[in-house]
Amino acid sequence: EDQVTQSPEALRLQEGESSSLNCSYTVSGLRGLFWYRQDPGKGPEFLFTLYSAGEEKEKERLKATLTKKESFLHITAPKPEDSATYLCAVQARAGNNRKLIWGLGTSLAVNP
């Protein structure tokens, strides 16, 4: 069964304190792995897509990496505005199926 597990469930950092969020997955053929950010009362906002092991993508203070079993979202020198829930999802390689399978997310709080 396709499954996504994120850890930790919650993370509290001081401003400038770098850390990493983990997303481990099992899927029958990976089409893509997605990272989203969700702020309270809003829908998920797309951050990155990774397609193959070894791939890395960066955006401002965020960097996403992918292996055959997990992905990491590295946050370098975070700021309070980075506080949000970070969601990981995978899409299986199965015809026209666009269904995303989601983890429960990591709730990140960055204190000034």
Interacting residues with another protein between 72 and 91 (CB under 8 A): 87, 89, 91
Enter the tokens of residue 86: 């970070």
What b-and-e string marks burial along 80-112, b requiring 16 or more CB atoms within 10 Å of the CB? eebbbbbbbbbbbeeeeeeebbebebbebebee
Q: Does 29 bind another protein (CB under 8 A)?
A: no
Q: Does 106 bind another protein (CB under 8 A)?
A: no
The one among 21, 23, 27, 44 contacting another protein by CB under 8 A: 44
Q: Does 41 bind another protein (CB under 8 A)?
A: yes
Which residues form the interface with another protein (CB under 8 A)?
A: 31-32, 34, 36, 41-46, 49, 87, 89, 91, 96-105
